[in-house]
A and B are shown apart, each in its own frame.
Chain A
Amino acid sequence: MTTADAFETPDLMLALPEIWLLAMACLVLVVDLFSKDRDHTPAFWLTQFALVSTALITINVQWGVDATTFSGTYVADAFGTILKVAALGLGFLGFAYSRDYMRDRGLLTGEFYILSLFAILGMLVTISAHNLLTLYLGVELMSLCFYALVAMDRDSPRASEAAMKYFVLGALASGMLLYGMSMLYGTTGSLDLATIREAAATLEDNRILFLFGLVFMVVGVAFKFGAVPFHMWVPDVYHGAPTPVTLMIATASKVAAVGLFLRLIGEGLEPLIADWQQMIALLAVLSLLVGNTVALVQTNIKRMLAYSTFNHMGFIFMGLLAGAPGGYGAAVFYAVTYAMTVAAAFGIVLLLSRKNFEADQLTDFRGLNERSPLYAFIMLLLMISLTGIPGTVGFYAKWLVLKATVEAGFVWLAVLAVVGAVVGAFYYLRIVRLMYFDKPEGVGPQPTGSGGFRAVLTVNGLAVLALGLFPGALVAICMAAFAP
């Protein structure tokens, strides 16, 4: 390379997953435009094909690679591959579960697929970003699509309110993120994460300004996670958005948020770990305390899952702040398995919902064991997995995080977290109790949904058990991704 301005031909193959997904999203747009099918069947199948094929391409092209392209603005590496495949898989689950629900409510439009695909594309870009601007581009692409998706049910005042709230607060968070980035750029003169990392290691005069930037960025990231005290939007958005959109926000976007954290703070600002560790610890503590306590009194399952998210975000933060290979590996494992479990839980809510009826009250679960032992059992697995009982994957997630936290010297935080888990046990058990011990008022909602939906949901639910019994492979993959 002679000068910095010299033009290199970028290695397009390395970024093939994003390119392919973009092309597919455009194809869906065109096909849907000309399709006469009222159920948007071609769009559905094309979307699912796009997600699966992108996942396969990602594994083929990016697993085991550690390289950058587009002049260092795009990076492909092992943990990125895991997060991308998880995001794509969660998108697949979301579409599989949502078809009947959206059709019954007149929301099954081509835009649903296209906006969701672009949101997922935004996640992939975020996860692979190696430059502040690419990162911001990915985050905004994801967020803007989500704002629109939340508002899809435009006749519902609750959805509109949720979308408004999400948009305003999300824009504020993006502003924070951008402001922090500008300070980093101001001190280092570079947008490249590798350069920023080098500069962070040798800070002298600009340390204060740099740390200010760090604080703003942590705030922005915490908004995207929905961590306490930047959580105000979460319950309203979860509650107000159509359930399939809630599913996407609750699962795939959390995986992307982990990617955002790991790229921006974990990788770019790694030399300042002593500074951000304390901030993240504070966020973790607040998330563990507030989320749990408020979740106790919810009667709507979507709100309950929203508040319980904070508890899990607290756990993910614990993994992240432990740094080093073990902590990041634990956080990725936690995020992926948590998202998978919650996706199935929303799947059950969608399964019980019918036309003009939302099965989102806790009381709708009364006596589910009588009506459908299989789905009651799957919900039992999901709830005990979220509680962290062994035999389900949630236990390993919690344990890996605790292990990393204890090894990083934060024993007090580990103790606090397990106390939080006990509080969590109470509201998760309440669902088990309703399903198994109580009798329904009247007949109670029956499981609906097509065969394909049920099959995917069953596999998703049983995977929580299977991974709980044999977590070895997934743990090994997550740990290997961060091995030095």
Chain B
Amino acid sequence: MLESSWPLLSLLIWLPILGGVVVLALGDDREELGRIVALGTAALTFLFSLGLITGFQSGTAAMQFVELRSWVEALNVNYHVGVDGISMPLVVLTTFSTLLVMIASWRRVTVKPAMFQACFLMLNGIMVGVFSALDAILFYVFFEVMLVPMFLLIGIWGGANRIYATIKFFLYTFIGSVMMLVALVYLQFQAGGSFHILDFYGLDLPLNAQIWLFLAFLLAFAIKVPMWPVHTWLPDAHVQAPTGGSVILAAIMLKIGGYGFVRFSLPVVPEASMTLDWLMIALSLIAVVYIGLVAMMQQDMKKLIAYSSIAHMGFVTLGFFVIFAIADRTGGSGMLLALEGGMVQMISHGFISAAMFLCVGVLYDRMHTREIADYGGVAHRMPVFAGFFVLFAMANAGLPGTSGFVGEFMVILAAFQANFWYAFAAATTLILGAAYTLWMVRRVMYGEVANDEVAKLEDVDRRELTVLAVLAAAVLWLGLYPAPLIEIMEPSLENLLEIVAAGL
């Protein structure tokens, strides 16, 4: 394990939280100063997080930037953080998305702006904590505490039906996580009192216990991802959340579910994962196909993107759990490809969904409606914006050259080695995704200018342009040259496969 010479991860966790407290203390009276502090904190956090990339040793699967301090000594709970190739990109994605949200919502929020920004900053720190926690209880603390700022974000700044949506969101995710708490307590008991997550790996648990643990983890993470049939909170939460909230929700919170599967389910209970892989594959394919069809019928742009998120996250879970079927068929080759595909898909979806929600936000700020039917011919009035919108829509549909293609293609390719029909069902996304996204683009962007409101639209300003251009660059970079990302992840994923194989 590689110790850190100075506490970079702690900085990434606590700097934004502290910044949030400062912004809250400044209050709404000193709004402008608070805003600058908030943006500054987010920018600084992002800059520091780049240190993770430069300082990362990509040839090893060991945890890096590790910090270990005793926290609750009587219970053997430690403040133990560190990242490997799986979590490091997600940490950077978190700080990156928060910075974008800060820029995108600059001066957009007039109700309680201080609290709004503070919520985002605190979320940033908490989510970095989720990805970097190596102590199960620390992980749980961050995992759960994350709900509180999000609950307030949706409930205070959300749309008309926000209260219903936020309570649904909270209760859904809470029921998932408390089951995980019981699982973690049980694991700690089995692991001889240690809460170190890596100590949970390779425990010799009977299959019966493994299956219960797997189901507990499944409930927690499937709700977060979300997988069919526990996805129903997501469209509500997304539609009601303010733009920034939707971005964080889609770009990062959903990834926490995926991350949980690779950090807990696969390595801790490999035998149960193998036994129940049919269930996971089935649920993933239902998400891809059925939710794809559902997305097509949506009248609300945010809802459409929310459903498309569920469909795309189906690829992540498919990639993670198809490995056992691949191993059956080929004896091992292709497993790594599946895991990498799932991981790349997570990062890529982080960029694309953020971009899509921000685009809807740009339109919503001007028109105050998300109904597709209220738009038409926007491209005539907003040509620059239309360019970006189409690019992101293409990426969402999985066009080669964009990041959306890479992950999906890798997963489909890997799925072929497991079973033709898995791959076939997954590949329908290329048609369905194209159908629902491009149909939306056509109805919103093209055609005649639909009404007077649209005729008055103005193109993106410099602030919006910056945000969209940065995301476009990210989408294209990952689409054309994903090698550096894969290089970072590969040793850790190989190591994961070894742990899984050893546990079978």
Contacts and interface: CB of A to CB of B under 8 A. Distances in A.
Contacts of B175: 419, 422
B163 interface: yes
Contact of A406 (B72, B144, B174, B186): B186
B185 interface: yes
Contacts of A432: 151
Contacts of A472: 71-74
A387 B74 CA distance: 23
B208 to A, nearest CB: 12
B8 interface: no
Interface string B174-192: 1100110110011011000
A258 B9 CA distance: 42
B145 A391 contact: yes
Contact of B137 (A399, A429, A475): A399
B178 A422 contact: yes
A403 B186 CA distance: 8
A16 interface: no
A391 B122 CA distance: 13
A436 B152 contact: yes
A476 interface: yes
Contacts of B170: 425, 429
A229 interface: no
A242 to B, nearest CB: 33
Contacts of A198: none
B182 A433 contact: no
Contacts of B152: 436
Contact of B182 (A387, A396, A414, A429): A414
A402 B185 contact: yes
A26 interface: no
A437 interface: yes
Contacts of B185: 399, 402-403, 406, 414
A390, A399, A400, A432: residue with the most chain B Cβ atoms closer than 10 Å:
A390
Nearest to A477: B74
Contacts of B188: 403
A104 interface: no
A421 B140 contact: no
Interface string B146-159: 01100110011000
Contacts, number: 85
B155 A437 contact: yes
A101 B231 CA distance: 48
B162 interface: yes
A357 interface: no
B167 interface: yes
A426 interface: yes
B50 interface: no
Contact of A390 (B71, B75, B144): B144
B167 A436 contact: no
B163 A437 contact: yes
Interface string A60-83: 000000000000000000000000
A411 B185 CA distance: 10
A406 B189 contact: yes
Contacts of A429: 151, 167, 170-171
A378 to B, nearest CB: 14
Given A399-B137, A433-B163, A476 B73 contact: yes
Contacts of A425: 170-171, 174
A461 B186 CA distance: 32
A479 B137 CA distance: 19
B181 A418 contact: yes
A415 B179 contact: yes
Contacts of A411: 182, 186
B141 interface: yes
Interface string A435-447: 0110000000000
13 contacts: A403-B75, A403-B188, A419-B178, A425-B171, A426-B167, A429-B151, A432-B151, A433-B155, A436-B155, A437-B162, A471-B72, A472-B72, A475-B72
